[in-house]
Amino acid sequence: MPVGFITHPDYRKHVAGPGHPERPERIRAVLEAVARREIDEHLQRIEPEPVPDELLASVHARHYIEQIRQMSREGGGMLDPDTAVSPGSFDVASLAAGGAVAAVRAVLTDGLPAAFAAVRPPGHHARPAQGMGFCLFNNAACAATAAQQHHGCPRILILDWDVHHGNGTQEIFYRSPAVLFISLHQDRWYPGTGAIEETGAGDGVGFTINIPLPAGAGNMGYAHVFEEVVLPVAQAFAPELLLISAGYDAHAGDPLGGMTLTAGGFRRLTAMVRGVHAGPIAAVLEGGYDLAHLGKSVVATIEALAGIAASPDEAEGVEEAPYTAVRARTRAVRSVVRHFWNI
């Protein structure tokens, strides 16, 4: 089946500085991997547009939006030691959010069953009034908000499998029962949020599910958590739209994580959610900082969305954390989730 593929050459114009892991070459690595696998016949390429200011202001505080705009006009600067604004960053970040919105439009209006937005900078750490963790605007949150405002989508599941907790996305939707946020992330890792007990507030209680996994969790461990928590909750919630915050820094070869997933592992996770959710799926690139593994993992995800036969995996020799540790954490998560969901 065809998959919408959204990207833009201007995504390379955001420059975080010499030696920074969130670098323009990430987009080139994805495009080269797609070209090597020769899957163009399965892709419908879509060129994004910048996200409208009014939509951006539905997610972020106006004073913060203007702060990023002004910093870009004045030559850039640092929001924190990790998060840079360069002269082109406002336009690129707006275009990145627009890429996520284009992915939603592709699956909700244009009739495509799935879409993948290869964008940068990433977005899931961006809070309503604060950029952090390499992120300026929250791409997934903009996409979900567009689905609500422009497509009348009443139930949205955001599944975040980046190795880092999506604290910004969680904060934006923490009180909303219309958006179910599920995050799998490395325990006691940046930014330090995402405890099991963080389950939402107000009307949104139960609509945030955090699954902090022990370092070293890999293909088997993640699949177990999907089977025991993610898939049953997804089936119970029955979303009209599934958004994947698709970070690949949980790959065994990534320099910024301590997990042991492989490209084949990401393929399996994608196939698993596709198996229980027949509706629209839009994936948005988040982290992933080893260029070779990033490209392979993105391709594996796209192939699973398109139903393309698997390419060889590199799982041999990757040692996972003890399965007992993952099972114990899964039981702990289920004991909390059962208060809200019949799983």
Closest to 328 measured CA to CA, from 236, 207, 196: 196
Q: In the predicted model, is pLDDT for residue 315 greater than 60? A: no
Bridging pattern class, strands 241-246 and 281-285: parallel
Percent of the chain with pLDDT over 70: 98
Inter-residue contact 61 to 128 (CB < 8 Å): yes
pLDDT tens string 255-309: 999 999 999 999 999 999 999 999 999 999 999 999 999 999 999 999 999 999 7
Q: How many residues does the chain have?
A: 343
From the list 8, 42, 125, 293, the catalytic residue is 125
For residue 251, the 8-state DSSP code is B
- pLDDT score, position 60: 98
* Buried/exposed code over 37-51 (b: 16+ C-beta within 10 A; e: otherwise): bebeebbeebebebb
Average pLDDT score over residue span 162-189: 98
Report domain extents, the chain.
3-337
Active site residue 185: no
Kindly state the tokens that stand for 289.
């900082």
Query: pTM for the complete prediction?
Result: 0.97
pLDDT tens string 202-261: 999 999 999 999 999 999 999 999 999 999 999 999 999 999 999 999 999 999 999 999
Residue 44 sits at the vertex; the CA angle it makes with 39 and 47, to the nearest 5 degrees, is 120
- pLDDT score, position 148: 98
DSSP, collapsed to helix, strand or coil, labels residue 260 as: strand
Q: In the predicted model, is pLDDT for residue 329 greater than 80? A: yes
Percent of the chain with pLDDT over 90: 95
- C-alpha distances (whole Å) from 247 to each of 54, 268, 287 are 27, 15, 4
Q: In the predicted model, is pLDDT for residue 310 greater than 90? A: no
Q: How many other β-carbons are positioned within 10 Å of the β-carbon of residue 343?
A: 14
Cis previous bond, 191, omega within 30: yes
As a whole number of angstroms, the distance between CA 143 and CA 146 comes to 5
Q: In the predicted model, is pLDDT for residue 75 greater than 70? A: yes
Q: In the predicted model, is pLDDT for residue 322 greater than 90? A: no
Q: In the predicted model, is pLDDT for residue 318 greater than 90? A: no
As a whole number of angstroms, the distance between CA 132 and CA 130 comes to 6
pLDDT tens string 177-188: 999 999 999 999
Closest to 294 measured CA to CA, from 6, 16, 9, 21: 21
Does CATH place domain 3-337 in 3.40.800.20? yes
pLDDT tens string 100-159: 999 999 999 999 999 999 999 999 999 999 999 999 999 999 999 999 999 999 999 999
